[in-house]
Amino acid sequence: MPKDNFFKLDQEKRDRIINAAYDEFITYKSNYKKASIKRIVKEADISIGSFYEYFDDKDDLFLFLINNIADKKQKYVFNEKDNIKDIFLKILKISEDNSILDDREKELLDVLSSNDNDDLIKKFYFDYALANFMELNLNRLKRDMNKGLLNESIDIEFASYLLTTAEYNIIKYWYYKGITDNTERLEIAHKFINMIFKGIYKQ
């Protein structure tokens, strides 16, 4: 995540950096490794030294942008009355139409799912997702367990971990099977949801 110095910048300068980063990452969305900090700072009209006062590295900047998109999706998806299955179905619906995202946000998400960059994907799903969604998922599972909706034998903390990191494992399966077609990818995600929730929730 950005350092405190980034948030102390005026909005215009922050926007320049963010816009330059979007342009660079989207230009090289099929090969993230070729995206360059040098080009980002040139377009944003800042120095390399200043960049490192705001971010640790290129991954830090990229994941900041991805986290912002994830936060936007989270606000749309999470409703206190929903159970975990409802939430996952909403996430899939967003993946199918992405109507709440603008075009460049959709393209930036493509960078994450079109590059077999395991370190980058792990940073997002295991640092960001676990920090932001693990407790939310656990609380919903506890609530549904108290309502008698779950199979009594379920370890809800383990189930919460599996659900929170599920998207990472689905993406890795896409790479393992060489699945690039979006329709086929969504079919795999639906299969996962049907399989795992049949094990967690009473039928």
Asked if residue 186 has pLDDT above 90, the reply is: no
Q: What is the pLDDT of residue 8?
A: 95
Determine, yes or no, domain membership for 124.
yes
**The pLDDT of residue 121:** 81
pTM: 0.76
| Tally of domains within the chain | 1
Note the pLDDT tens digit of each residue in 66-123: 989 888 877 776 666 777 777 777 766 666 566 778 889 988 988 877 666 778 888 8
Q: How confident is the model at residue 13 (pLDDT cuts 50, 70, 90)?
A: very high
Q: What average pLDDT does range 185-202 have in this prediction?
A: 81
Whole-angstrom Cα distance, residue 133 to residue 74?
A: 9
Contacts of 140 (CB under 8 A, 6+ apart): 82, 83, 84, 87
1 within domain boundaries: no
Q: What is the pLDDT of residue 27?
A: 94
Task: Write out the DSSP string of 65-92.
Answer: HHHHHHHHHHHHH--TT--HHHHHHHHH
Residue 160 pLDDT > 90: no
Tell whether the torsion through CA atoms of 118, 120, 125 and 130 is positive or negative.
Answer: positive
In terms of average pLDDT, the best of 20-24, 162-166, 175-179, 180-184 is: 20-24
pLDDT of residue 65: 95
Residue with tokens 């094990």: 199
pLDDT exceeds 70 at position 148: yes
pLDDT per residue over 28-72, tens digit each?
A: 988 899 999 999 999 999 999 999 999 999 999 999 999 898 888
pLDDT of res. 191: 85
Answer with the residue of higher pLDDT: 182 or 45: 45
Please check whether residue 24 lies inside any domain of the structure.
Answer: no
Residue 170 domain-assigned?
A: yes
pLDDT of residue 44: 97
Helices (H), the chain: 4-8, 11-27, 37-44, 48-54, 58-77, 84-97, 103-114, 118-122, 130-146, 156-164, 166-177, 182-200
**Residue 28 domain-assigned (yes or no):** no
Give the structural domain span for 121: 81-102+113-200
Q: Domain for residue 49, yes or no?
A: no
Q: Is the confidence at residue 197, as pLDDT, over 90?
A: no
The tokens 């971990």 sit on which residue?
161
Q: What's phi and psi for 57, nearest 5 deg?
A: -170, -175
Q: Is residue 108 part of a domain?
A: no
The CA–CA distances, whole Å, from 181 to 31, 73, 189 equal 18, 22, 13
Q: Is residue 176 part of a domain?
A: yes
The span from the first CA to the last CA of the chain, in angstroms, equals: 41
